[in-house]
Amino acid sequence: MAHILVTGWLPQSKGNEMLKVYTAKDKPAYPEYMKRVQHWMVISVEGMIKTYAVYECPNDKILESFQAIGRRYTLYAQVEGYKYYPELLFDAQEMIKMSL
C-alpha cells in the first residue's frame, strides 16, 4: 500500500469559511480504494491553521489517488489564503535499501 501526505495551510481568520466548505455535502467523493488514515490539525508558529492528512491507496492506484485528492482539495483552495501540498511517502527502510 502507498501513503500520501497532504499538508495544508490556512489563515486563522478563514477558519469558519473553511469549516463550511469542509462540511458541505456536495464534495467530490474519494474512490473506494482510497482510505483516509488520519487527519491532524495544529496552529502553527506563524499563526496559520495547519493540517496533515494521510491517505492510503493501492500501489497501482497512486496516480488516480493524486487526481482524486486534487479534485477534493481544489474545492478547499477556493477559500482565500488556503494552500496545500500532496506528497508520496516512502518507508524509510525501503528508501535506504533503494539508495544503497
Mean pLDDT, the chain, rounded, equals 93
- Rounded CA separation 28/74 (Å): 10
State pTM to two decimals. 0.88
pLDDT tens track for 38-85? 999 999 878 899 999 999 999 999 999 999 999 999 999 999 999 999
State the helix-helix crossing angle for 15-22 and 62-76, rounded to 10 degrees: 130
Who wins on pLDDT, 6 or 46?
Answer: 6
Look up the CATH number of the domain holding residue 45. Answer: 3.30.70.260
Residue 96's identity, in one-letter code, is I
- Rounded CA separation 12/63 (Å): 32
- The total number of structural domains in the chain stands at 1
> In the chain, what percentage of residues exceed pLDDT 90?
79
Looking at residue 47, what is its pLDDT? Answer: 83
Domain of residue 16 covers 2-99
